[in-house]
Chain A
């Protein structure tokens, strides 16, 4: 089947197999930030935005993205750098394999709820597993970032 998907602002038209998952379509098109950590929709590593909403790209058929907009971390580099610096300042990026999915979902959270409290942060990101960090450093990074933004960013 033929699909048209806008990936990070670039329109891609392609003939695909009907069972092609969005994660594989995106990686085939160079979006290597999109990672696979499980085969049961449990890890959150594959999170991307579909029309601005976070989805698990391992559980979405490419066909469903036909005519829609997809964003991956490749398309959000400025935001990723700005927020990611706070994660880096904690050393919480560790192996980094979970980072893209975590960053995507955190950015989605900030868009939906610019001033979340600790419980809201934990709830929202509960589906993003990380085996390295123990989550505390990620939380410190988020809180520092939010405080910095609140104080009025440059």
Chain B
């Protein structure tokens, strides 16, 4: 293949490395643009009794101040999901009932930052302070209701009930789990706790709004989901979708954070009311305290096995904390079971139960891995604990039980693994790290122990039967192509990856394809870039569109050659007539399509997949454990990934390295702690420690490709799976060094040192 599977440079690469102005705040007109900020609640649960805004309104330069009385009264969700959204409609732009420290109370717009800050300072709010519900373990059926209101509404049957603090609840399974576990030689049972980690993309949330020549609301936002933003704003503002246009510039990272509407509603409301341009840029602090982080989960696992290591039953119960609002609550929890249990092929029985509860902390959202990360930490840790109990090498235990190609996965909606190289991934990772020489540990004789740990992981490729990907491809004069997409390149390189696929189909250089996206007025419909969908779902749409365009080019060329289309051939550069030997080049075809032409050399195709083929991987960590201080140093991390055909080896590698670094952060450093009043301590990058380049050791990545028959050129996804292995692999390495299992993340040096001191 000449374009697919090549390490092509990203189309925007040189602009990015030379610092060109391509992000939201670089490209807008700052003149006469209102600055929008919000006043945030200092209470975790309170009713706004009154807001005295007269004095603040008098601050010179203040344009408007809005409170709950000024905004529409219909509830909506900020989750970027396909309608009808599983996430409940539990939000207002501003609510009289504020439900976490940071919940917006008032919107202030003014012509300078100083004016707005001053107005925020002198706004007076009287609150009726209520007792907050902060313990998610006590939330279900608690007497404190986070959403007591009658206007709360759930659109889908996800087991939600606001009178019980339930955002979702459910159960699925196969076989008689209790009977199978009772019959096992050994049952391992433990509970694992992961925190509400922040995506911490370097560009915080931000949106610019203006009114166009047609009186429509134009939104330029750093978002992964332009079409969902259009619907959400329409719901929030109570205006028709036809009055809204949403586009995205380059995005400074997303990782799922920007799969929810976070900043958009506030400037959109201001601009719609004032008809003036406005912008909102979240500070890092706001991004930490009032955004869309990972769902905190407590996952209880029971695994039953025989002495020979045969796993017979897996039982998972997940308690997920959605916080004050339900964005992505009902769906993230599903992955904690559906993308962890199926790693073990076909146990005789499995069961997966869950509750998702409301509490008075920041609402959660979508973060790379989307529940699978939490579930895999739990299930993979439990399997590692099982290996220890059986006194069996965890790699051997995996070899006996892991899912293989061609198996039906009962816990994965009964789907079959058409492509699965997990066995090869484990084998290769083992060789790369030198597992047999290093497992379980080696005392280095200087107070330090080197040890290893491992984990497997899977994810999906898009949401089966739901996600829609589309592409428009058109030929222009001179024979170059324009591809228009609604998927969002957030640094992942999907503009380039999709262009590689188009170039492969059209037999042309990648440079002959220009990419435009994403803009709700111009792009064909696409659910957006999330759920590891773009390469797999939109990629297939690109393939389909290009095939059709080839036919059109062929027909046009044949027409120019006076040749029947059946006798003509197209090689990417010219159309040939077999009978006469005449040919016409692309440039001529493109140019003649602009002169007396009656067929558009343009095709739009849409794709959705009934299945979501999982990518698989294996990660192995080698750490150096300080027995005194508890300090863990990453020495080596190897990852071997099966993402089907690797469309762009460079970009897939960097995705993997980046996901692993984030996973290392989650495993060791990134903590989220609340005070007994509901105040979040880790509210800056000073307290919330994301890894630096000194913290990640050496990360080595290889690919063991399978071929996914339903994917474009055999490809599956890669964006999310890569964050899933570090937590369980590092936890096992720490156990191998210290003899202690740490079942709560992050596994900080303090926690380890304390456990060692108790020995």
Contact = CB atoms under 8 A, between A and B. Distances in A.
B624 to A, nearest CB: 16
Nearest to A97: B252
Contacts, number: 180
A137 B657 contact: yes
Contact of A93 (B13, B285, B694, B698): B13
B684 A99 contact: no
A72 B336 CA distance: 45
B284 A99 contact: no
A123 interface: yes
A11 B707 CA distance: 59
B654 A95 contact: no
Q: Which of B19, B26, B654, B658 has the most CB of A within 10 A?
A: B19
Contacts of A73: 18-19
B604 interface: no
A126 B19 contact: no
Contact of A91 (B9, B22, B252): B9
A130 B659 CA distance: 12
A93 B19 contact: no
B113 to A, nearest CB: 9
B421 to A, nearest CB: 22
A40 B687 CA distance: 10
Interface in A64-110: 72-74, 77, 80-81, 83-85, 87-100, 103
Given A97-B23, A125-B693, A137-B653, A77 B661 contact: no
A134 B493 CA distance: 16
Q: Which of B16, B661, B696 has the most CB of A within 10 A?
A: B16
Contacts of B659: 134
A149 interface: no
Contacts of B250: 95-96
Interface stretch (B72-80, B121-129, B200-208, B313-321): B200-208
Given A125-B693, A131-B200, A131-B662, A93 B685 contact: no
B252 A96 contact: yes
A147 interface: no
B32 interface: no
Given A43-B685, A134-B659, A126 B12 contact: no
Contacts of B654: 90-92, 94, 132-134, 136-137
A61 interface: no
A125 B16 CA distance: 18
B692 A126 contact: yes
A32 interface: yes
A52 interface: no
Contacts of B454: none
Interface string B663-688: 00000000000000000000011100
A143 interface: no
B491 A42 contact: no
Interface in A117-147: 122-123, 125-139
A83 B465 CA distance: 45
Contact of A95 (B20, B200, B251): B251
Given A129-B692, A131-B658, A135-B661, A93 B17 contact: yes
B12 A81 contact: no
A97 to B, nearest CB: 3
Nearest to A95: B491
A126 B699 CA distance: 17
Given A35-B202, A42-B685, A88-B10, A136 B699 contact: yes
A85 to B, nearest CB: 7
B523 interface: no
Interface string A33-68: 101011110110100000000000000000000000
B693 A99 contact: no
Contacts of B651: 91
Is chain B's binding surface mostly helix, strand, loop or mixed? loop
A132 B190 CA distance: 33
A38 B684 contact: yes
Nearest to A89: B9
B490 A95 contact: yes
Contact of B16 (A40, A43, A96): A96
A95 B284 contact: no
A129 B665 CA distance: 12
Contacts of B593: none
B344 interface: no
Contacts of B194: none
Nearest to A90: B650
B619 to A, nearest CB: 13
A128 B252 CA distance: 15
Contacts of B491: 94-97, 132
Contact of B12 (A96, A122, A123, A129): A96
B14 interface: yes
Interface of B: 7, 9-10, 12-23, 25-26, 199-204, 250-255, 283-285, 490-493, 648, 650-651, 653-654, 656-662, 684-686, 690, 692-694, 696, 698-699
Which 9 pairs between the two chains have the least Cβ-Cβ distance? A95-B491, A33-B19, A84-B17, A96-B16, A97-B252, A134-B657, A134-B661, A91-B650, A88-B13
Given A37-B284, A136-B696, 10 more contacts: A33-B18, A40-B686, A81-B17, A87-B17, A88-B14, A91-B493, A91-B651, A98-B202, A122-B693, A127-B692
28 contacts: A33-B20, A39-B283, A39-B684, A72-B19, A83-B17, A84-B13, A88-B13, A88-B14, A90-B650, A91-B13, A91-B650, A93-B10, A95-B250, A95-B251, A95-B490, A95-B491, A96-B491, A97-B201, A97-B202, A125-B693, A126-B693, A126-B694, A127-B692, A131-B662, A134-B659, A134-B662, A135-B661, A137-B653
